[in-house]
Chain A
Amino acid sequence: MNAHIAPESSQAGSTQVGPVLVVDGLVKDFDGRVVLNGLNFTLAPGQSTALIGANGSGKSTLLKCLIRLIEPTAGQIKMLGRDVCALNTRDLRSFRAQVGIVWQRHNLVPRLSVLSNVIHGVQARMSGPRAWFQALAPAEVRAEAMACLDRVGLSDRAGARVDSLSGGQQQRVAIARMLMQRPAFILADEPDASLDPQTGEEVMALLLSLVRENGLSLLMISHRLEHTLEFSDRILGLAQGRIALDLPTAQADAAGLRRFFDHQEPA
């Protein structure tokens, strides 16, 4: 791996219709400490893009800035055709409903059932008691939640308390909850971090299948190089608050990525 492709020029592995995400001059500083220093990149729809970088390089901050869980200091974000930074509170809620997030920690409500947790995903488009607990949900919502659980292979555990499941199963429930949103774009923050190698691989394969079969766009953070190489179409590398690496996965190799991690510079 020795090619360093300029951020704007990379269109790896996708038949681009129009960019699903455009980041232009994104800056984020925390009390003067600059974490993101003028990021520029574009993502085509229907792609799986891996975001790599050493700890503290700003990957999670970038993901949170994209949906304004953290407010950017400067710059522009255009995602799914909407100017994210210009959205008011109401529009921001409706925008976030279109973006599914898979967290490093699954962030499920531990004392509730698997089905209730999946039904929580419908709060992206429905409010009120019908979206709070499975017992109050309409029949069609329950049926959709069961279909989402079926998609992740856990429909037989719908009635179980979520804290009785293994870590891998909980991560799959989180993905089912995300599917319940009917998202157009998926952000995944180290979804394989706390899982054993085989379970981590299964979760990553599940996410990639959503890209391939449902046409969703995926931007994921992963520290596992083998997952980065196997489950992405394009790799973005973040170092010193900038995109320091941008290339199609087909042109990448493990040794080059490891060099990037070690030196945080273009491989």
Chain B
Amino acid sequence: MTTPTVPTTLAPPPRFSHRSIPEYVGILLVLGLVISCLMATAPALDKLSRGIARLFAPSGMLMQMFPPDFSRIVPIGWKLLETLQMAVAGCFLGLILAIPFAILATDRLSPHPLLRQVARAVIALFRTVPDLVWAIIFIIIVGLGPAAGVMAIMVDKIGFAGRFFAEAMEETDVGPQDALRAIGASRLGTIVSAVFPACLPSFTATSLFALEKSVRGSAALGLVGAGGIGVDLKVAFDLFNYDEALAIILLMLVLVIAVEQGSGWIRKKLI
């Protein structure tokens, strides 16, 4: 037996809510901005089609890339290892240093509003400046080589993880923190005992994502002389050794996929 539907005299609400004239003006402005940006910067279709044709021509770069040249696989392998080492070292240092910055940047945990503003500003600065620029700065400080790359990754990760760690700590349940505060626990005790355990899944996810990002980023740092496989890639392109460049790209791809698979496995186990 089915219950009959009770008829109602009320009409359903309108499909689209009514918008005011300023809202329409705002939407038009945003649309105009997007279109003007596309017109100013997007490539012309005829130019794009000619470029793609050049790429696939018998003498084009893509055709010269095949077959990839793995004759220098041993030195490239060592460079890849250096790239991975730079990523792991820089990421580790960055994540460790991101924790105090994140604590200072968190509303509830920061000891003083002024410190909070300073910490937030530093994190924003570290995040805003591209890692290639940091690499150039550190090359000036410590010279060419992987040390500059490690420092650049470290600073980049302080900015990246500092923000996400702070957000995780802001969003965590305040009940356990209040409970510990109420029994007279110190600020540090409350943070380590209540905040960190609650944030562990988020911290782990952010850290693994930071590692993946570091591995991808460290390959590019070599382009400016900050160590790693990027130097070899740049040289291969400069000397028109496109087949060797493809071999380097494929090996980098293997490394990145391996790191992503590994971090995915760790994420599943820990979270």
Contact = CB atoms under 8 A, between A and B. Distances in A.
Nearest to B199: A111
Contacts of A105: 175
A112 interface: yes
B236 interface: no
Contact of A67 (B175, B182, B188, B194): B182
A100 interface: yes
A128 B188 CA distance: 8
B186 A123 contact: yes
Which residue of B182, B183, B194 has the most chain A CB atoms within 10 A of its CB atom?
B183
Given A127-B189, A131-B189, A132-B189, A109 B194 contact: yes
Contact of B180 (A95, A120, A129): A120
A120 B182 contact: no
Interface in A61-75: 67, 69
A124 B184 contact: yes
A2 interface: no
Given A108-B176, A123-B189, A97 B198 contact: no
Nearest to B201: A111
B193 A123 contact: yes
A181 B183 contact: yes
Contact of B197 (A96, A111, A121): A111
Contacts of B200: 111
B185 interface: yes
Contacts of A132: 189, 192-193
A121 B183 contact: yes
B28 to A, nearest CB: 41
A232 to B, nearest CB: 22
A108 B186 CA distance: 17
Interface string A40-79: 0000000000000000000000000001010000000000
B203 to A, nearest CB: 12
B171 interface: no
Nearest to B181: A69
A73 B183 CA distance: 22
A132 B189 CA distance: 7
A14 interface: no
B184 A94 contact: yes
B235 to A, nearest CB: 49
A124 B175 contact: no
A110 B198 contact: yes
Contact of A123 (B175, B176, B180): B180
B193 A124 contact: no
Interface string B158-189: 00000000000000000110111111111011
A263 interface: no
Contact of B179 (A93, A101, A112): A101
Contacts of B178: 69, 107
A260 interface: no
A69 B182 contact: yes
A120 B185 contact: yes
Contacts of A111: 197-198, 200
Given A69-B178, A103-B175, A132-B189, A109 B183 contact: no
B184 A109 contact: no
Interface in B56-83: none
Contacts of B189: 123, 127-128, 131-132
Given A123-B193, A131-B189, A132-B192, A107 B175 contact: yes
Contacts of B180: 120, 123
A182 B185 CA distance: 14
A108 B176 CA distance: 5
Contacts of A124: 183-185
B270 to A, nearest CB: 11
A174 B180 CA distance: 11
A192 B182 CA distance: 20
A97 B176 contact: no
B233 to A, nearest CB: 43
A16 to B, nearest CB: 27
A99 B185 CA distance: 12
Given A107-B176, A107-B179, A132-B192, A123 B198 contact: no
23 contacts: A67-B182, A69-B182, A93-B184, A96-B183, A97-B184, A99-B182, A99-B183, A100-B183, A101-B179, A103-B175, A103-B179, A105-B175, A108-B179, A110-B176, A110-B198, A112-B197, A121-B183, A123-B183, A124-B185, A127-B188, A127-B189, A129-B192, A131-B189
Name the 10 nearest CB pairs between A and B, nearest first. A107-B179, A123-B185, A96-B184, A107-B175, A97-B184, A93-B184, A124-B183, A109-B176, A111-B197, A123-B189
Interface of B: 175-176, 178-186, 188-189, 192-194, 197-198, 200
Given A110-B198, A123-B189, 10 more contacts: A69-B181, A95-B184, A96-B184, A109-B176, A110-B176, A120-B193, A123-B184, A123-B185, A132-B192, A181-B183
